[in-house]
Amino acid sequence: MGWNRLYSLKSYIKSSLWLVPFIALLLYILAIRTVSLLEPWLGWIEPWPWGMDGTQRLLETIVTMTLTFVVFTFGSLLVAIQIAGGQLTPRIIATTLLSDNAIRLTVGLFTFTLLFSTGALIRLEAAVPQTIVEIVAFLGFLSIAAFLYLIDYAARLLRPVSIVLRVSEEGRAVIEDVYPAMAKAEADTVTTHLHPDTVPDRVILYKGRPAIVLAVNKSRLLAQAEKTRSVIELVPRIGDFVASGEPLFRLYGILSPDEDKLKSLIAFGPERTLEQDATFAFRIIVDIAIKALSKAINDPTTAVLAIDQLQRLLCFVGKRDLGREEIFNPAGELRLICRTPDWEDFVKLTFSEIRLYGAENFQIARRLRAVLEYALQVLPEFRRPALETEMALLDRSLAKVYDFPEDLELARIADTQGLGGSKSLPPKAQSATGSVTPFRPL
């Protein structure tokens, strides 16, 4: 199995809800066969203290109860997916709800309890081992506790703050993996050593159904380039859409790597994922923010919660070395080119759409300014131009939106809470107009 197929299989397993109940089915088969082998040692005795009728009612009650739990859980999950996808963004379905281990394990417990109880009920004749009844009763107790826990857990999970926090945590991990090195004192170096007019010796086209580039095995691509003493350029970025006939690789060198081998090191899929896509976490959180700012929903406070996490991610990625498009071998020879998002990409993704849809709202305007002023304080000097450009665009947008000077002055006050928290800012950081004076590092 090629690397791309193995990667797709792992991603499917991580995001599939049905696999855990299926594993519970296999465990039931193993458990019931084990019990059958242990029957001579368990000893078939009259159940105590319930008697035959009481044991039958107990088993029937547990079967009915767990079946109800399964139906209720799946029904509620479908409704929750529809509501969350409609009010937040459809992109959270695969990244949060379907891949959540608590939900999957709870459904697996319900399935195992239902099957085991049904198996014990079927075997109920003149007598049944007391140990089996005790196991079923214990599983029923666990199912009740798990069901009560699931209700509380799902209610907390589907809150906007929980969703954006989870996406932010995953995005932070991806950023750390894609950009492992910390930023240097100078700006990122992203210029290619290949001359712009360099003609590739060979171009490999994508063949297949239209798809998104999900992941790349850079280490093996580097090994292929080193083996053939060539330079491999991956044309699309991770997260890009490619159609059949579009360039996938450009190869520079007399010896070219095997085409099938190279294609097997690229994973494709129908939609973007968080595994290697450094900007997708930003995309999901921005989608949540702009949907909350739509006229149909009109929930700017949720947008402020999203901006809180965008500030965290933006400041985190701003401290990383983003100039890693080119990969060299130990001898310093260029071997691999894989394009990644630069600082301007992250800044525009963070601010542009939210500013467009939310400049007319006091909470959004003040919170965006607070993010910009905080980033200007904590990030390196060479990150400032893009942030200052966004600050100027924000000021121009506010001047266009607000007709009254009093409203314009209010909208230009940086506020970490959106509206109502400006007084909590450190007094030394405030200027005479009430806005935060950015600290300029030496």
Strands 241-242 and 211-216: antiparallel
pLDDT of residue 149: 93
Q: How confident is the model at residue 187 (pLDDT cuts 50, 70, 90)?
A: low
Token pair of 185 as six digits: 């004192």
- 326-328 β-sheet, strand order: 202-205, 247-252, 231-234, 334-338, 326-328
pLDDT of residue 186: 67
Exposed (0-12), middle (13-18) or buried (19+): which is 100, by Cβ within 10 Å? middle
Cβ-contact 321, 185 below 8 angstroms: no
Rounded Cα–Cα distance for residues 1 and 147 (Å): 39
- pLDDT tens-place string over residues 107-160: 999 999 999 998 888 877 655 667 778 888 899 999 999 999 998 888 888 788
Rounded Cα–Cα distance for residues 435 and 425 (Å): 9
Decide if pLDDT at 429 tops 80: no
Decide if pLDDT at 251 tops 70: yes
Rounded Cα–Cα distance for residues 316 and 257 (Å): 37
Residue 275 or 80, more confident: 275
What DSSP character marks residue 94? Answer: I
Rounded Cα–Cα distance for residues 414 and 411 (Å): 8
- Please, where are the H alpha helices in 88-159? 92, 101-122, 130-157
Decide if pLDDT at 43 tops 70: no
Predicted model pTM: 0.83
- SS3 per-residue string spanning 290-348: HHHCCCCCCCHHHHHHHHHHHHHHHHHHHCECCCCCEEECCCCCEEEEECCCCHHHHHH
Rounded Cα–Cα distance for residues 413 and 362 (Å): 9
pLDDT of residue 33: 81
Backbone angles phi, psi at 414, to 5 degrees: -65, 135
Residue 278 CB neighbour total at 10 angstroms: 25
pLDDT of residue 352: 95
Rounded Cα–Cα distance for residues 77 and 151 (Å): 11
Decide if pLDDT at 298 tops 80: yes
Strand partners, 234: 249, 338
Region 421-425: what's the mean pLDDT? 55
Strands 231-234 and 334-338: parallel
pLDDT of residue 78: 79
Rounded Cα–Cα distance for residues 86 and 93 (Å): 11
Rounded Cα–Cα distance for residues 424 and 267 (Å): 48
Rounded Cα–Cα distance for residues 410 and 361 (Å): 11
Contacts of 10 (CB under 8 A, 6+ apart): none
Residue 158 or 409, more confident: 409
CA atoms 320, 321, 322, 324: torsion sign: negative
Q: Which residue shows structure tokens 């949720």?
A: 302
Strands 241-242 and 202-205: unpaired
- pLDDT tens-place string over residues 321-349: 887 778 888 888 888 999 889 999 999 99
Residue 132 or 297, more confident: 297
Region 257-267: what's the mean pLDDT? 90
Greatest alpha-carbon span in the chain: 89
Region 244-271: what's the mean pLDDT? 90
- pLDDT tens-place string over residues 350-368: 999 999 999 999 999 999 9
- 211-216 β-sheet, strand order: 241-242, 211-216, 266-269
Q: How confident is the model at residue 39 (pLDDT cuts 50, 70, 90)?
A: low
Region 14-35: what's the mean pLDDT? 86
In 202-321, DSSP assigns E strands to 202-205, 211-216, 231-234, 241-242, 247-252, 266-269
Cβ-contact 133, 52 below 8 angstroms: no
Residue 436 or 117, more confident: 117
Boundaries of every domain in the chain: 3-158, 280-429
pLDDT of residue 414: 92
Decide if pLDDT at 50 tops 80: no
pLDDT of residue 4: 87
Residue 178 or 186, more confident: 178
Q: How confident is the model at residue 242 (pLDDT cuts 50, 70, 90)?
A: very high
Rounded Cα–Cα distance for residues 119 and 121 (Å): 5
* Percent residues over pLDDT 90 in the chain: 46
Residue 337 CB neighbour total at 10 angstroms: 21
